[in-house]
Amino acid sequence: MNLKSTLKHVMIWRYKNISQKNFVLILSIFVGLSTGLAALTLKNITYSIQLFLKKGIVFSENQLYFILPFIGLLFVYLLRKYVFKKEMSPSVPPFIKRAVPSLLYSLLRQKGLLSYKLIYHPIIMAPLTVGFGGSVGLLGPAITSGSAISSNLSKLMHIDKKTRTLLIACATAGAVASMFKSPIAAIVFAVEVFSLDLTFASLLPLLIASISSVLTSYFFLGDEVLFNFVVTDKFTIRDTTFYIILGLGTAIGSIYFTKIYFAVYTFFDRFKSKFTKLIVGGFAIGVMLYFIPPLYGEGLSFTRDLYDGNYLHALGSTFFDKYLDNIWVVIVLLIGFTVFKAIAMTTTFAAGGVGGVIVPTMVMGSALGNVVAKIINNIGLGHQVSESNFTLVGMAGLIAGVIHAPLTAIFLIAEITGGYVLFLPLMITVAISYMITKNYMEHTIYTKELAERGDLLTHDKDQNVLTSMDINSVIEQNFIALRPDMSLGEMLHEGVSKSNRNLFPVINENNNLVGIILLDDIRNIMFDQSLYSTTSVETFMHLPPGYIDFKNDTMRTVMQKFQDTNAWNLPVIKDGKYHGFVSKSKLLTAYRRKLINITH
């Protein structure tokens, strides 16, 4: 009995004995376990590479470690060119190759179907990037790998698109839960990022996947986690003003982070060759590492040292070692780290590296929070704030501002600190950071390009329906086209008599739309035979009330054009040529069907 036959028998047994609801719950357990294993594999390979480079090679002793990121990026480049010759997601636009944006695009335009190669590609290439010092994180690759497992499992089990979307969200929650051992934050992250409608039907699988992934992490790692902080300094009401200041600081930092992200990508877009990007990016990262050693890798040890108050160890060996007894020199160096962490991260991506955004965001936020606390404590206000608490809350503020996920930021820091001692300052800082950045920038580094293309799902059901609709599905082409030089008689015999439509496009020899004719335009003279040879189509045609641009108009724009023009039919122009019509009746029918599919 072959695999296909065995799977068929399993599916038949499942349909007879397991309800769809229970089957999804079983799959969510498997997704959580497999995503947890993928995350653990990523971490272990990465840390093994780092340990080997630290102990087995003399680079660090000779202060030549800054060339390691270039070597890691070169390995990734060679793997892509000679081993993984085909792109991992060829149908995904190149500017959304990052983990979360590519998943959002796939869920909307590709029914959540991901290549099986995405299961192992990130597990190989992300450790090479991060292990050799690329300034990115591992959470994004873990999400990609887990989501690919979910997608291919759902395809194997013949699961519908809506359930597949839920399982991919389960994989995302599982990756976050495994990395940080924070199941609540993991669920909230999946809901905020994927714009899920939080019902009991979706909450339970997310919860089960998160628990399964956390248990997997505990089974293999025990109590070891990325961040393990114990808050000893309690919040006092006198600190409220300073947490408000921190919120303002993280808002500014979030805006800077986002701006520099797109600026660096724009700079690298000048280079057409991927190898040129590798050379330029590798050199730039090396220079930054030479002057700011903590930029090496994810930066988790840097955050831990800052929290412990060991800022000298966090900063490493620099040209300013003999001045570090001056706290303002330390503050300036930490500000430098904050500024260049975003640049180093994006340069790693632009040069071809594979990694995630969230951990670098947290590390940068920890530095920013620590800087704010040190400034407050050293400007002579006579008031001391907890630098360790500000380090933690700064992480939350930057997460909320950069990825517009305020609840994720609050619960993530609350869970990794093992309690809710900082809940109030977290809410203060996160709320301010989120409100300012959301008001200044509607979209994040995850969603900006998707939103500009009309490929972004949100919590707005009306917007989601329009976004998920395909304009091709509502274009009608059963209209008989007329030429402007046709006589009235020719139009009646070749057009009106053969058509069941009351609308006729008029196109020239180059297939350009020059006008339209409605049956009402000729109804009062169509039986006057004296005009059959003396008048032409050009006499009766007129311009349509509006046009639909096939390539540039989103479905939301199309709907707005019907509302603005009050038209019943609008012509579609593709590459400057006539392509058909969209009717209001067909558009509204398609909208209603899509709405039913999304909400049920």
DSSP codes, 192-229: HHHT----HHHHHHHHHHHHHHHHHHHHHHTT--S---
Q: Assess whether 256 and 197 both reside in one domain.
A: no
Q: Assess whether 486 and 356 both reside in one domain.
A: no
Last residue of a domain, one of 186, 221, 256: 221
| Mean pLDDT for the stretch of residues 498-510 | 86
Q: Assess whether 262 and 166 both reside in one domain.
A: no
Handedness of CA 349, 353, 354, 357 (dihedral sign): negative
Q: Assess whether 470 and 330 both reside in one domain.
A: no
Structure tokens at 289: 């590492």
13 φ/ψ angles, rounded to the nearest 5 degrees: -65, -40
Out of 107-116, 138-147, 344-353, 553-562, which region has the weakest mean confidence (pLDDT)? Answer: 107-116
Is 230 inside any structural domain? Answer: no
The neighbour count for residue 600, using CB atoms within 10 Å, is 6
Amino acid identity of 10?
A: V
Amino acid identity of 87?
A: E
218 φ/ψ angles, rounded to the nearest 5 degrees: -65, -40
Provide the 8-state DSSP code for 570: E
> From CA 145, how far away is CA 127, in angstroms rounded?
13
Pick from 127, 130, 172: nearest CA to 148: 172
Q: Assess whether 314 and 439 both reside in one domain.
A: yes
Q: Assess whether 199 and 266 both reside in one domain.
A: no
| Mean pLDDT for the stretch of residues 390-413 | 93
What's the pLDDT score for residue 74?
A: 93
| Mean pLDDT for the stretch of residues 346-374 | 92
Q: What separation in angstroms does the CA of 156 have from each of 171, 300, 483? A: 16, 38, 52
Structure tokens at 142: 């873990």
What's the pLDDT score for residue 196?
A: 61
- Domain of residue 434, residue span: 237-454
Percent of the chain with pLDDT over 90: 28
Model confidence over 163-208: pLDDT tens digits?
888 888 899 999 999 888 888 999 998 888 776 665 666 788 899 9
Is 244 inside any structural domain? Answer: yes
What's the pLDDT score for residue 92?
A: 52
| Mean pLDDT for the stretch of residues 405-426 | 87
Is 532 inside any structural domain? Answer: yes
Q: Assess whether 331 and 311 both reside in one domain.
A: yes
What's the pLDDT score for residue 488?
A: 83
CATH number of 151's domain: 1.10.3080.10
Is 567 inside any structural domain? Answer: yes
Out of 190-194, 264-268, 359-363, 424-428, which region has the weakest mean confidence (pLDDT)? Answer: 190-194
CATH number of 502's domain: 3.10.580.10
Is 446 inside any structural domain? Answer: yes
- Rounded to the nearest angstrom, the gap between the alpha carbon of residue 11 and the centroid of all alpha carbons in its chain is 34
Structure tokens at 484: 């402007």
Is 155 inside any structural domain? Answer: yes
Q: Assess whether 62 and 26 both reside in one domain.
A: yes
Structure tokens at 580: 């058909």
Model confidence over 40-95: pLDDT tens digits?
999 999 988 888 887 655 444 546 677 888 999 999 999 988 887 654 444 555 54
Q: Assess whether 114 and 189 both reside in one domain.
A: yes
Number of domains in the chain: 3
Is 228 inside any structural domain? Answer: no
What's the pLDDT score for residue 260?
A: 94
Q: Assess whether 385 and 511 both reside in one domain.
A: no
What's the pLDDT score for residue 90?
A: 44
DSSP string, 465-481: HHHH--GGGGEE-----
- What SS3 class is residue 548? strand
| Residue 540 pLDDT class (50, 70, 90 cuts) | confident
Last residue of a domain, one of 454, 476, 511: 454
The answer to pTM > 0.85 is: no
Q: Assess whether 514 and 369 both reside in one domain.
A: no
Structure tokens at 200: 């009991």
Model confidence over 253-264: pLDDT tens digits?
999 999 999 999
Structure tokens at 194: 């994927």
Pick from 90, 98, 142: nearest CA to 449: 98
Q: Assess whether 296 and 181 both reside in one domain.
A: no
Model confidence over 107-156: pLDDT tens digits?
767 777 788 888 888 999 999 999 998 889 899 899 999 989 988 888 88
Is 232 inside any structural domain? Answer: no
Last residue of a domain, one of 176, 194, 221: 221
What's the pLDDT score for residue 436?
A: 95
